[in-house]
Amino acid sequence: MKASAPASSANLGPGFDCLALALDLRCEVAVEPTDEWEVAPSDPSGFVESAARQLRSEPLRISIASEIPIGRGLGSSAAVLSALATAIQRLDGGVEDREATFEYVAAEEGHPDNAAAAVFGGLVHAGPHGVYPLEIHASWQPVIAVPDVTLTTSEARAALPHDVPLAVASRTASRMARLIEALRTGDSDLLRTLEPDELHEPYRIALRPVIGELMRVARSAGAPFVAISGAGPSVIALTTDVSAERLTGAFEAAGASVLVARVALEGVR
């Protein structure tokens, strides 16, 4: 049995730990019963096998084919967990339960944003009261710069302060409201009014300065919006098809690999 799930870009600046966008780079997982647990390609960390053992006691042969860069802030772990859980549901002949899959992946991830995008697709808000799909205008084109460095989620989170000034919280709420409305309407001018995030991005840029350089390059190339993708180090720019080529060239000139991906309106399938 097979299932696949999309990549995702979480946070999108002010939407820390609650906003995510699914991208049409997919991870496919195939499972079949066998005598001993097997994972291909090899899984030295044991991450995939450990996850599968929580979902099924009998051994499986698990094959993974993924277009999603690992450890780059593009939701690779949420995608593989979502596809794995769904493939096992299908193998065991049970009813596919997206809510249960989301709850499982969110618990494993420790935060719900990537899990929501991987399972349900599109632009989503995820929090204590559930997952809410948000409208996104068809004109937006994500362009992702992937630098040749890694940044673990644990390191990126450890760098964040436990408290933020009230003024920062207020400005972040304002940016969040404008971001959601601009994504809904396709209003580039409104999107350009968002100043750089203050809640989490400065601390992560300090860990990997290349992130800040790629963000500067994107703004100089005319991107109306740029943010760290997830915990980083990838950077996502939102633009229109007209300037996507210019952005790609600017990112490549800065030494990054580039992924031009459409919004994935479909989640796990």
**Is the confidence at residue 8, as pLDDT, over 90?**
yes
Please check whether residue 159 lies inside any domain of the structure: yes
Q: What is the CATH number of the domain that holds 238?
A: 3.30.70.890
Last residue of a domain, one of 80, 112, 134: 134
CA pair distance 124, 98, nearest whole angstrom: 14
Q: In which domain, by residue range, is 243 found?
A: 141-260
pLDDT tens, residue by residue, 57-76 = 999 999 999 999 998 999 99
- Average pLDDT of the segment spanning 181-202: 96
pLDDT tens, residue by residue, 113-154 = 999 999 999 999 998 889 999 999 999 999 999 999 999 989
Shared domain for 159 and 251, answered yes or no, is: yes
**Is the confidence at residue 95, as pLDDT, over 80?**
no
CA pair distance 19, 13, nearest whole angstrom: 9
- The C-alpha angle with vertex 1 and arms to 92 and 87, in degrees rounded to 5, equals 65
Shared domain for 29 and 54, answered yes or no, is: yes
CB contact burial 67-100 (16+ within 10 A = b; e otherwise): bbbeebbbbbbbbbbbbbbbbbbebeeeeeebee
Last residue of a domain, one of 77, 107, 134: 134
Mean of per-residue pLDDT scores for the chain: 95
Shared domain for 153 and 249, answered yes or no, is: yes
Shared domain for 7 and 108, answered yes or no, is: yes
**Prediction pTM value:** 0.94
User: At 218, which amino acid appears?
Assistant: A
Shared domain for 154 and 87, answered yes or no, is: no
Reduced 3-state DSSP string for the chain: CEEEEEEEEEECCCEEEEEEEEEEEEEEEEEEECCCCEEECCCCCCHHHHHHHHHCCCCEEEEEEECCCCCCCCCHHHHHHHHHHHHHHHHCCCCCCHHHHHHHHHHHHCCCHHHHHHHHCCEEEEECCEEEEECCCCCCEEEEEECCCCCCHHHHHHCCCCCCCHHHHHHHHHHHHHHHHHHHHCCHHHHCCCCCCCCCHHHHHHHCHHHHHHHHHHHHCCCCEEEECCCCCCEEEEECHHHHHHHHHHHHHCCCEEEECCECCCCCC
pLDDT of residue 172: 97
Please check whether residue 269 lies inside any domain of the structure: no
Last residue of a domain, one of 88, 114, 134: 134
Strand partners, 238: 142, 225
| Helical axes 241-253 vs 209-220, angle rounded to 10° | 140
Q: What is the CATH number of the domain that holds 6?
A: 3.30.230.10
Token look-up 């740029």 returns 226
**Is the confidence at residue 156, as pLDDT, over 90?**
yes
